[in-house]
Structure 1
């Protein structure tokens, strides 16, 4: 029996369908909210406004704060200033992954309840009680803040989500399929196979992978056409909600491994990687992890999916040329991550470095 497993399932209340956002006043009443701070982006908030009829509700007062675009400690301090000055008792984040991460972290530090209204499906940030931290420059801090406070609610509308940029959804699909590739080898180890919550995490990651491989092309075409279809609703829900259950149920054994560590390392040590979305860097990270594991057959199996979704498979394809110093910094960073060493192979800095070049040769010489 594991004694270090921390199960944090997700928001206290979840709803995703046309008209769902109209139920926000009921939830504000449930949490005795009176003075609400809306933290938002810019373009996404303009698109969201027609869905936010609760802002006209006379039972609540609303203040507004536009975030800087990063989930940073500076951003959390800005929220804290408004919360204290305006005597805010509830925070709602309206926006994408970095914004919901920021609101979750700030609410944790302030001991204030919060809810999220995602405007796009690009990752599971709205679901998970952790925040990936960045500097205001866009450089990764190289760490995540984990906390116990769950969102009071996660509510959004597919008619709002479908109006987001398609490349964010594609990146979200890549970020989500990583859940299986990062966790499966860990969860299949004999000493973990009979743990009930880890079994649930494994089933959930398989559900995510199978649905994405089956329906992604259709869901992307539907999004491009602005059609709210069953496939789009199903996969967007998997990206920003169901995927969060994998790490929520499996904790460190199913949260992330080399693919996400590579993302963080690139974000920290390669400035030009900031031009790529989180899920795009994770997509490259999946191939990199498979190269470390020498699972070339799985890379072959994924190639048609990557090619159809135009996902990055190599540094050369991304037009990123890190020097030797940056490569050494990245592999040492990846090696420093505990979850990387949960994989059932001996991970060394030498293996991690060699695998970068092996993957480049494999992809670029096809």
Structure 2
């Protein structure tokens, strides 16, 4: 049985790490092309210049306003980076900018640095880019052959983002343990095309433990723009542990339900959809009542508590979510139980009622 653990080449986290040359010490390239969102770059550009200059890396060009990840935008940025003779691509911002940077680095076979400015996603540590069309509809994936060479999480920057982004990231991380456990029980392969390692499963389980122990305090710290040990723990949980957990531990029903929601008029952030879907996954698998109770407790304590109507889904749309969640292009087949659209719909409705009764 082949096992495979995916991970970034280096992960550096801390308050002020962008401005220090030591943070970039693992880089081999000498010429950087920086891309990102307007706000993200306005918060980090001066510190990036300081850190890269100290590390002996020249900033050849900076491309702001990267607010969509489309194949046309990727192609345009590849041309710009080629003209700049860049050997290192640096993506700054949220999931869209980071996914775009991964696709550009893949096309050029360049070194890649991701610099998240919010902790709402595990995109900074993964190899995959999700690409959309001009209307915002899913258009495909780009799979880089390796994870980012360097992930730089400056908590002094991330703490300045609205608290809701930290909560969205916790919603996504909320699923990591339970999906990895499902994949391990079903003996399916992970995103890496192999079976999960014991280390991946341990990391995945630690995401839930950290949310339980530090999540509430981290949210309070974020409200007051305070970088505390709890805040640092949750940034690492949302960014690194969840990223390692999903790539090397695997995805199952929670993200399958998430894809089902995407085929409807659901109106909610990814993290909130995945958090609700995690409760539905636990119902689907008939997990131990103590585990379900613990999950519901965390779900409510962290302010993730949403019902189907809060997500923009009426009862009639549940069948659509369930049917699409069970299609061949989702990760529902990684479940250790047999799942039909009818059973999936029952799990969604039961999760909704459990959340209402909690």
With structure 2 as the length reference, what TM-score do the two structures score? 0.86
Which whole-Å CA distance do the structure 2 matches of 1:353 and 1:347 have between them? 10
Work out whether 1:270 is the aligned partner of 2:243: no
Does structure 1 conserve the Cα–Cα contact (< 8 Å) formed by 2:279 and 2:296? no
Alignment match, 1:345: 337
2:205 corresponding residue in structure 1: 206
CA gap 1:226/1:349 in 2 versus in 1, 3 angstroms: same
Choose which of 252, 256, 279 in structure 1 pairs with 2:271: 279
Cα distance in 2 for residues equivalent to 1:315 and 1:22: 43
Structure 2 counterparts to residues 17-166 of structure 1, below 5 A = 17-24=14-21, 27=24, 30-34=27-31, 36-54=32-50, 57=53, 60-141=58-139, 144-166=141-163
1:173 paired with 2:165, answer: no
Do the aligned partners of residues 117 and 356 (structure 1) sit closer, same or farther apart at CA in structure 2, a change above 3 Å counting? same
**Structure 2 SS opposite 1:126:** helix
Structure 1 segments unaligned to the other structure (5+ residues): none
Cα deviations by residue, 1:158-207 (Å, 9 ceiling, x for unpaired): 11111111111011112112100112133245899xx9952111111111
State the 1:283 CA deviation: 0.8
1:245 to 2:241 alignment? no
Cα offset, 1:263, TM superposition: 1.8
Question: Following TM superposition, by how much is the alpha carbon of 1:48 offset from its aligned partner in structure 2, in angstroms?
Answer: 2.0
Change (3 A) 1:25 1:210: closer
2:351 corresponds to: 359
1:329 positional shift: 6.3
Contact 2:35–2:63 (CA<8 Å) still a contact in 1? yes
Q: Deviations along 1:103-143, whole A, 9 cap, x unmatched? A: 112211222222111111112211111123333333334x5
User: Which sits farther off after the overlay, 108-117 or 334-343?
Assistant: 334-343
**Which of 240, 258, 261 is the aligned partner of 2:253?**
258
Q: Is the 8 A contact 2:29 2:111 kept in 1?
A: no
Q: For residues 106 and 24 of structure 1, do their structure 2 counterparts lie closer, same or farther at Cα, with a shift above 3 Å needed?
A: farther
1:361 CA drift (Å): 4.1
The answer to whether residue 12 in structure 2 is matched with residue 15 in structure 1 is yes
For residues 1-12 of structure 1, the aligned pairs below 5 Å read 1-2=1-2, 5-10=3-8, 12=9
Q: Is the contact between residue 127 and residue 145 of structure 2 (CA under 8 Å) also seen in structure 1?
A: yes
Q: Which sits farther off after the overlay, 59-68 or 108-117?
A: 59-68
Shift of 1:340: 1.9
TM-score, normalization: structure 1? 0.85
Cross-structure match for 2:309: 316
Distance 1:52 1:177 in 2: 32
How far residue 322 of structure 1 moved from its aligned partner, in angstroms, is: 7.2
1:217: which partner in 2?
Answer: 216
Cα distance change of structure 1 residues 147 and 330 upon mapping to structure 2, 3 Å threshold: farther
Paired residues of 1:82 and 1:88 also in contact (CA < 8 A)? no
* Cα pair distance change 1:187/1:46, threshold 3 Å: same
Q: 1:91 to 1:169 in 2, by over 3 A?
A: same
